[in-house]
Structure 1
Amino acid sequence: MALVLKLFFFSLLLPLSYCADPIAHYCAQNYTSNQTQININQVISDLTTSASVGGFAVTSSGNGNDTIYGLAQCRGDVSASDCSACLSSAAKQFPVACPKQADARLWYDYCFMRYDTNNFVGQSDTGFVTILYNVQNATDPDAFDKAVRKLVKKANSDAVSAGSGSLGREKTNFTEYINIYALAQCTRDLQPLDCAQCLWSTLQYFPIYCSHRRGCRVLYTSCMVRYEIYPFYFPLDGNAKISGVDKYTKAILHPH
């Protein structure tokens, strides 16, 4: 019973996949063409259906300048039902977050969806980054940062290894009472080398935004990394110590 109650508490700490508001979004390219809107609607519908089955999908709709390309991916550790719920939330949110925008991207905790007039499939995109970092510092911060760097690098390596599905998960015992959890993921259209380069490039922001922080995540369009001191990926770690819910600050950058 104690284990069941602990897992239930952890589930309350995890973000809801069907939350109406994304954790990040990007919008660009105004349009007025009715055909573009029709193609966007078709792409969103196709992605929601196809990615709900396998956790990943790419598609396109239209011809010539009106063509819309799309991609959707769920986090590799979430269930099919959570994946489907997250994608449905994204589909409903696009008209609100990016009205009449032909380049639109939505990040949720459990999924990511985008569409664009350019065929981006298979190309690494690090031109937009969102960073979420915990406002609280870790105890023994220098040792904590060293442990985080080592753990995140292991998660990055896992994500580019054969058979990983572009997902890496790692855990380390920092102290008797504190575990650190890390997750890394690329969109599955990337080749392993492009995935590796994307993930390693996220580390440039760690000294600036994540140093000494109890949790941090860096979100690119093509990849993401995250670490926390509570279990946030599945399967949940039932032996973890509960630390409470922390607060985060967001930074949005346009490096290119």
Structure 2
Amino acid sequence: MASLGLYHLLFFLILQLSTGDDPIGQYCDNKSFKNNNLHVSINAVLADDLTAKASIGGFATTSSGHGDTLLYGLAQCRGDLSAEHCSACITNASKALPSLCPIQADERVWYDYCFMRYDTSNLVGDSDTSYALILYNVENATDPEEFDKEVGLLMSEVRAMAVKQENGGFGKGTSEFTPLVTIYGLAQCTRHLRPLTCAQCLSSAVEEYFAEYCTHRKGCRVLYI
């Protein structure tokens, strides 16, 4: 995938990547925007600004409105995504949010390679681990105990990469479990997070969800936003 919370962290463990125009998850809080017409207008401004900025640098924050109508926005692409594919993913996200969360003031959408969120709270600063999207492969690995050990070692490595400031909150790696099975691991925080906050957010994903949802699984993702 980091925080936005303010906001996000992205943590993934993946064996297989897929592409597509459809979101892999969304979240619409019960907070509603009182003036729907104004909400639509502000969302459009956020979408245009985030798409333009994130398409260039892979990450962007912005805001629009005043007082009770002030909304903050954040968007980020996966750290190894090209500018062209990042732009396409962010564009899809900006188009999807209005229909997914038409009246909500806290709107979030995840794609395989990017995510976007609008909220009345400032999304820059601390991590937000209040909601997690968890996706996992229903199939278990062969030799599951050894597999989990290898996954643990790999994820420790990519987490260490992600918390280094020079890596922009992004880490990925591979491990050859057998001659026929390669494990892919990835960890990502939103770029505005300090290294310590990034590390705490990633640790939260592992400690709170890994044992329950990811043990023995051939693939698993835990995403905050």
Does TM, normalized by the shorter one, top 0.5? Answer: yes
Distance in structure 2 (CA, Å) of the matches to 1:36 and 1:215: 38
Q: Match of 1:212?
A: 216
Aligned residue pairs, count: 207
1:188 and 2:191 are equivalent in the alignment: yes
Query: Which one-letter code corresponds to 2:219 in the other structure?
Result: G
Deviation at residue 173 of structure 1 after TM alignment = 1.1
Q: Which residue of 2 aligns with 1:92?
A: 95
Cα deviation per residue 1:103-128 (whole Å; 9 max; x = unaligned)? 10111111011011111211200000
Q: Could you tell me which residue of structure 1 aligns to residue 178 of structure 2?
A: 175
Task: Give the alignment partner of residue 129 of structure 1, picking from 120, 127, 132.
Answer: 132
Residue 153 of structure 2 is matched in structure 1 by 150
Deviation at 1:44, TM superposition (A): 1.2
* SS at structure 1 position matched to 2:79: coil
Distance 2:219 2:88 in 1: 26
CA contact (8 A) 1:61 1:67 kept: yes
Per the normalisation by structure 2, the TM-score is: 0.89
Q: What amino acid sits opposite 1:214 in the alignment?
A: K
Cα RMSD, aligned residues only: 1.2
Unaligned runs of 5+ in 1: 1-12, 222-256
Rounded Cα–Cα distance in structure 1 between residues aligned with 2:17 and 2:149:
25
**In structure 2, C-alpha distance between the alignment counterparts of 1:49 and 1:65, rounded to whole Å:** 25
Whether 2:191 is the aligned partner of 1:197: answer no
Code of the residue aligned with 1:30 in structure 2: it is: S
**2:167 match: secondary structure:** coil
| Aligned 8 A contact 1:55 1:80 in 2 | yes
| Unpaired stretches in structure 2, ≥5 consecutive residues | 1-15
Runs of 4+ in 1 over 6 A off after TM superposition: none
Task: Compute the displacement of 1:35 (Å).
Answer: 2.6
Flag the structure with more relative contact order, 1 or 2, with Cα contacts below 8 A and sequence separation at least 6.
Answer: 2
Once the two structures are TM-superposed, the CA of residue 90 in structure 1 deviates from its matched residue by 0.5
Aligned sequence identity (%):
54
1:36–1:67 contact (8 Å) kept in structure 2: no
